[in-house]
Copies of this chain bind each other. A is one copy, B any other.
Amino acid sequence: MIGEFEYVLLTAASALGDDAYGVSIREQIESATGRRCSIGALYTTIDRLESKGLVTTWLGGATTERGGRSKRMVQLTPQGVSAAREFYNAIMRVSRDASWAVERGKGIV
């Protein structure tokens, strides 16, 4: 099972589609979670996800317009999508009757 931060990163990369790379993923995570994402957390997790085959990465072309190192693009593999779905479903399944998970039209109240 992947960890929580790994899940967050996969989700952010998925949301960004073709624009997913280190910096944009970091911004996406910070905006989606409201919490800070450190550089170390970011790249070590990308590395770990890649070595597990859950994402692939490659160096982006020279699309930069004003200086700067080239981007390391990130994309989920089918296994990455599966792993994320599994994590999500596991949380949903476990939370089914939790008081903090009740939504409209759901359960006894």
Contacts and interface: CB of A to CB of B under 8 A. Distances in A.
A91 B7 contact: yes
Given A14-B98, A98-B15, A88 B91 contact: yes
A84 B88 CA distance: 15
A99 B97 CA distance: 23
A101 B85 CA distance: 7
A32 B93 CA distance: 7
Contacts of A93: 32-33
Contacts of A91: 4, 7, 88, 91
A62 interface: no
A79 interface: no
